[in-house]
Structure 1
Amino acid sequence: MFGAADYGVDIQVDDGDTERLLSVTPDDVSAAESLSFCRNVFVPLTTACRYTCTYCTYYEPPGQASLLSPAEIRDICERGADAGCTEALFTFGDDPDDRYERIHGQLAEWGHDSIHDYLREACDIALDCGLLPHSNPGDQTREQMGRVADLNASVGVMLETTAEVRAHGGPRAKEPGQRLATIATAGELGVPFTTGILVGIGETARDRAESILAIRELHERYGHIQEIIVQPVSNNDRWQQGSPELETLRRATAMARAGLPAEISVQSPPNLAPVRELLDCGVDDLGGVSPVTDDHVNPDYAWPALRELENIAEEAGVPLEERLPVQDRYAASEWLSPRIQSAIEADSEAGRRYRRVLESV
């Protein structure tokens, strides 16, 4: 289904499960007993992207796209470590295509054959500065993900939707099957993974149910999904069609909680969603929040201060717990690469910071 078979992945969603999920309301789920978050820095490695989604302001056209230098990466990571962060969130558009001649030329000048090759150097820099990498490189082949997996505490890509929507349209449209194949690849490689759905880009409630069930099937197969983000689309310079109604977002969030195993966290981004009005829908995670950098994917929507997160938790009557980019249950040898495990266990300022966070959860 969803074109995944074209990429070597067999996913079958049961119609009965879909119907049951469509009937879920917020009354059918419970509020979480705690809320978690992660301190991070956004590192926008490149704004080049092969896709041109109509709701996205992150990508820039060929000739205008940027590429952070190693010195810039180090500066951001050092500021993040100094501020007590534990995660370097590497964001960039999907693997730049041949139109981005200047980006490919710069990569070659710095001695790299591809953006994934450069990402490996960037992850090395983050680890050296005392941050755990979490990379969001978009669609990836097994070879591409394998190139960087051992230097990441976790990896992520938004599924967004299994539907073919006009917002993804054009000659370089995202394909749901390829997204699902990327999630499956992470499972095959044993990489803790974050994914999610984007609400309000033209998908239907059934599409959302099927997206959640497809994620569930991949988790049941590999056990690697640590969290799912339920994110509303937001107005920006390229998207003026508004955000989904609150009730739509509440139903989608409750659907995610009801449709996924309890060990998978349901995340609501506090700079994009009305979190206080979603907590009773099963939200237990507020994602990565940066005290240092902007949300480069959604620059019009500033991160809340830590005190605001504390207020949210206080109003809900639950504790707020800091976590690492790899959630606690995956912080074990069978899931972490030797490089990441040694970083967490190191007798260093960064290692002690990581362990303090682990021990506080």
Structure 2
Amino acid sequence: MVSGASEYGVDVAVEEGAVDDLLQVSPSDVDAPPALTFSRNVFVPLTTACRYTCTYCTYFDPPGQAELLSLEEVREICRRGADAGCTEALFTFGDDPDDRYTEIHAQLEAWGHDSIHTYLREACKVALEEGLLPHANPGDQTREQMSEVADVNASMGVMLETTAEVGAHAGPRRKVPGQRLRTLQNAGELDVAFTTGILVGIGENWRDRAESLLAIRDLHERYDHIQEVIVQPVVENERWSGGSPDLATMRQVTAMARAALPEEVSVQVPPNLAPAKDLIDCGVDDLGGVSPVTDDHINPEYTWPALRELEEIAASAGVPLGERLPVYERFLPSGLRTDGFDGRLADGADGDREWISETIRDALAADDAAGNRYRTVLRDGAAPQA
């Protein structure tokens, strides 16, 4: 049992023997991928208010300085993204603002909302109207909060970061692993295609890294809902001077992720933060969401690579590069998958479980002649998926 998980109703089984085995994995124990994928997205920083004060994070603003985008601003960002050929609207967040953020709550109330999640729902609808598929990452979520927005999202996500209690999650309002795991479990219970990941270098040790990856695997084996796991190094910024993991560390932990996770779960590294070219042979098969329009609002000092740079990464690894949607094809019903799809289907993709809502299905099924790129990406852009 992962420490603290039971307090949030999560029963995660991680055996010590499995941890020991994973710690023995090296890059030579995993295979390079047959192809690389990426998603073309636009970042929509809906709010910079956050209940947490993690010492490595520059995204959150303190009360009195935090911002909340208006729906008009959301629409303009999404419109620019659609014009640039994006398919994904990535809604970035600080976790649900606490009571200190009186101005944010007052603004939400003035706009007719009693929570950030009902407002997020409206923002996702705007993205859909502008021809983008929402992928929201609003941090820790109760089952009720997630169900409020799940049907207007193609997929969702939250970084687990680590199952360890670390000093970088400092202060009286600190992230706790059990609550993070509960969010992953909520996604599984609600049939939400989900992205998660670990943050490397924030004070966790090697056993913590192994335990974190195995906890993700355990939940995925139960619900079949994890589409990708990000292996992200912490990076230097104005709030973090504790250093970043070296290349040897990143190579080993990336190989551990590939060895720990089932074949159908992609291993992703962010190419603006990690030495992606040196990690592909460690099992990386996805380069994540890359924006041709907006900054990485989580790490604004680290610019996105241009498409040609992604092509160079793929070329150096000797594999093809393909564009994908924010929801992986294995979660789509048969009528929306490509004829050549040969990957493992998500459990129930053609039957009792509906991974995408009617709203998202209608968007994906829309005629690409009308301007959306979804079917074009499915038909022409996506490289083979496991």
In the superposition, the TM-score normalised over structure 2's length comes to 0.92
Q: How do 1:1-361 and structure 2 match up within 5 A? A: 1-332=2-333, 334-347=354-367, 349=369, 352-360=372-380, 361=382
Q: CA deviation at 1:2?
A: 2.5
Deviations along 1:304-326, whole A, 9 cap, x unmatched?
00010011111111000100000
Matched residue, 2:336: none
Aligned AA for 1:321? G
Q: CA deviation at 1:241?
A: 1.1
Question: Given the superposition, is the C-alpha separation of residues 239 and 350 from structure 1 closer, same or farther in structure 2, using an over 3 Å criterion?
Answer: farther
Deviations along 1:129-154, whole A, 9 cap, x unmatched?
00000000000000000000000000
The answer to whether the 8 Å contact 2:368/2:376 transfers is no
Give the aligned length. Answer: 361
Aligned AA for 2:143? R
2:120 is paired with a residue of what secondary structure?
Answer: helix
Q: CA deviation at 1:61?
A: 0.2
Q: CA deviation at 1:242?
A: 1.1
2:10 is paired with a residue of what secondary structure?
Answer: coil
Structure 2 distance, partners of 1:67, 1:353, is 29
Aligned AA for 1:115? I
Question: Given the superposition, is the C-alpha separation of residues 165 and 349 from structure 1 closer, same or farther in structure 2, using an over 3 Å criterion?
Answer: farther
Percent identity of equivalent pairs = 71
Deviations along 1:205-229, whole A, 9 cap, x unmatched?
1000000000000000000000000
2:288 is paired with a residue of what secondary structure?
Answer: strand
Structure 1 distance, partners of 2:13, 2:253, is 21
Deviates more, 1:62-71 or 1:345-354: 345-354
Structure 2 distance, partners of 1:294, 1:30, is 32
Q: Structure 1: which 5+ runs fail to align?
A: none
Aligned AA for 1:221? R
Aligned AA for 2:149? V
RMSD: 0.9
In the superposition, the TM-score normalised over structure 1's length comes to 0.99
Q: CA deviation at 1:330?
A: 1.1
The answer to whether the 8 Å contact 2:368/2:375 transfers is no
Structure 2 distance, partners of 1:227, 1:219, is 10
Structure 2 distance, partners of 1:224, 1:209, is 20
Deviations along 1:143-177, whole A, 9 cap, x unmatched?
00000000000000000000000000210010000
Structure 2 distance, partners of 1:112, 1:349, is 36
Structure 1 distance, partners of 2:134, 2:190, is 17
Deviations along 1:90-135, whole A, 9 cap, x unmatched?
0010000000000000000111110001000000000000000000
Deviates more, 1:278-287 or 1:340-349: 340-349
Deviations along 1:168-199, whole A, 9 cap, x unmatched?
02100100000000000000000000000000
The answer to whether the 8 Å contact 1:343/1:351 transfers is no
Aligned AA for 2:378? L
Structure 2 distance, partners of 1:266, 1:2, is 25
Q: CA deviation at 1:349?
A: 4.7
2:168 is paired with a residue of what secondary structure?
Answer: helix
1:197 is paired with a residue of what secondary structure?
Answer: strand
Deviations along 1:203-259, whole A, 9 cap, x unmatched?
001000000000000000000000000000000000011101111111110000000
1:297 is paired with a residue of what secondary structure?
Answer: coil
Structure 1 distance, partners of 2:53, 2:73, is 26
The answer to whether the 8 Å contact 2:131/2:372 transfers is no
The answer to whether the 8 Å contact 1:345/1:351 transfers is no
Structure 1 distance, partners of 2:191, 2:6, is 21
